[in-house]
Amino acid sequence: MINAGAVIIMLLLNIFSILGCKKIKSVPETINMDNNNSLYEYISAGNFSVNTIDGTPADLGIYKGKKILIVNVASKCGYTPQYTELQNLHESYGDKVVVLGFPSNDFGSQEPGTNEEIKNFCTTKYNVSFPMFEKISVKGENIHPLYRWLTDKSLNGWNDQKPEWNFCKYLIDENGFLVKYFSSGVKPLSDEILSLIN
C-alpha cells in the first residue's frame, strides 16, 4: 500500500526540481537493501576494478566501515572550485567518510587532460590529497562498471539517476549501500551532506 506521506514528499521533491532547487535523491524507505545490492558484493563478484590516478590497482573494499562520497570531477568546469570543499571534507571528516574523485570528460569536454595532468592540476591548485582515480566514462556506451552500479537500480537496489554534469555526488554507507544522490549544485560541505555524515 502506498504511503500518503511518501507520495507528498516525492511530489514536493519533483516540484523543487522543476523550480531549479537542489536535486537530491535518496533511497525510498520501502526498499529493503540486501547484500546483493551492496557495492562490496558487486566488487567481490568480480564485476569491476579501478586504478588510482597513478595507474596502480586499487581495492575499494578497504573503505568498508566508512561512508564513501563518489564524485565525477573535471578541471575546467564552473563547479571545479568544489575541489576546495571536497578537500576540506576529507580533512575534517576523514574519520567518517572518504572522498573518491573520478575524473571524466563526459560533460562539455571539461576534463581533456591526461591522468598525470589532472593529478598535477588537483595537487598544485587545490592541494588535493583524497584518493583520485584514472579518468573514466560515467555515462553512455563506455560507462565504467562502477557508474553502472551507481546508476542502475537493478544493481544498487533503487537508484537510476545518472550524473547530469560534473561534480555529481553519490553517498554510500559503511556497508556499501547507496543511500543518496546529489546533483552538481549541492556543495560538499552542505548541510544535506554533512547531516548524513555526522
Q: Which residue matches cell numbers 581533456? A: 112
Q: In what order do the strands lie in the sheet with 67-73?
A: 24-26, 178-182, 169-172, 67-73, 97-103
Cα separation of 154 and 37, whole Å?
8
Cα separation of 119 and 194, whole Å?
26
Closest to 58 in 3D by CA, of 133, 123, 148, 122: 133
Our measurement of the distance from residue 154's CA atom to the centroid of its chain's CA atoms, rounded to an integer in Å, reads: 18
- Write out the catalytic residue numbers: 77
Closest to 136 in 3D by CA, of 159, 118, 124, 160: 118
